Structure 1
């Protein structure tokens, strides 16, 4: 299921859906949307018009980028589905994540809450099982994701996860570094992870 960086055409963005988010995060999401449009990369995202995901999608669309939103029917009202972009309404969260995976060649993770965490863990679990080798880029302003990385390292230190797992993603502190990191592809050490933990 791996795809080469040369085939990068669609990028899924996981991020928060809260309008109460730090305005700096909302601005960064808009900057990413514009950067994806400029790079001719289709944005695949959660389909809503709220929070960081709405900011990213509106910016990408306004900049002439292609956008695909995927939203479960029970969230259409709550997350205010963005009618101005192409979107699919699916029956469940599981379907939504499967469509993200099927429609994407790479993933970007912006600040988010428990829903974003759930998406991250499944995506990286699938990477651990060698179900994909797509690039995963974390945007980590002011160390936002450091507690999560520390938890992952804790599982490595406990010999429950192989050390190679820590190469499954790239971390950037600046929005302008996200797209180049996607095109750079997975880290060299992130080859097969389906090995025993010793």
Structure 2
């Protein structure tokens, strides 16, 4: 049994260049639904974002989308458990973070990285103690992991902060590790 009832997932609104991304996202969505973990996500219907929500909903799970009005007017939608339309991207992220018990970043672009780094920053500053996992499909996050290690070696990030982020290549193992992950407050300035 998982200690979290909802997971916020950050991911691309594109499919990427390899079908392996889509295959693994479908597995994650199915696992979330089968384990009663509600998906909280950006509300879109395209790319990996749409594929994830579709997998959750078609397996009988729950998905809450949070989408800014400007984007909502430009995209098609899935039938979700709940769709919340907000005015700004800042409101979107704040509500996503509030509704989630933990976070997963899938492969994605600049928006995915921005959301993931904000969650890491908020953890570093003590604004939340929720686990974060990087779904390292086909080694997508290997270069980022190397950069994070470089930040640590150069004295810009504490090792303890990096250790609170789970990086995993298999959906089920990622969920299990997030469930076991202890996120503790660490004084950034100590």
Pair in the same fold by TM > 0.5: yes
Q: Deviations over 1:112-154 (max 9, x none)?
A: 1111000011000001011111111111123211211222222
Which consecutive unaligned segments of at least 5 residues does structure 2 have? none
Q: Does 1:64 align with 2:60?
A: yes
Query: 2:44 maps to which residue?
Result: 48
From the superposition, tell whether residues 164 and 76 of structure 1 become closer, same or farther in structure 2 (CA, over 3 Å): same
Q: Does 1:119 align with 2:119?
A: no
Q: By how many angstroms is 1:58 displaced?
A: 0.7
Q: By how many angstroms is 1:171 displaced?
A: 1.2
Give the total of aligned pairs: 190
- Scaled by the length of structure 1, the TM-score of the pair is 0.88
The separation in 2 between residues aligned to 1:194 and 1:160, in whole angstroms, is 14
From the superposition, tell whether residues 16 and 165 of structure 1 become closer, same or farther in structure 2 (CA, over 3 Å): same
The separation in 2 between residues aligned to 1:9 and 1:140, in whole angstroms, is 22
Pairwise mapping of residues 35-184 of structure 1 onto structure 2 (< 5 A)?
Answer: 35-184=31-180
- Name the SS for the 2:112 alignment partner: helix
The separation in 1 between residues aligned to 2:143 and 2:185, in whole angstroms, is 25
Q: By how many angstroms is 1:23 displaced?
A: 1.7
Q: By how many angstroms is 1:191 displaced?
A: 2.6
Q: Does 1:195 align with 2:188?
A: yes
The separation in 2 between residues aligned to 1:8 and 1:156, in whole angstroms, is 29
Query: 1:8 maps to which residue?
Result: 4
From the superposition, tell whether residues 19 and 146 of structure 1 become closer, same or farther in structure 2 (CA, over 3 Å): closer
- Scaled by the length of structure 2, the TM-score of the pair is 0.92
- Name the SS for the 1:12 alignment partner: strand
The separation in 1 between residues aligned to 2:80 and 2:129, in whole angstroms, is 32
CA contact (8 A) 1:45 1:68 kept: yes
CA contact (8 A) 1:108 1:137 kept: yes
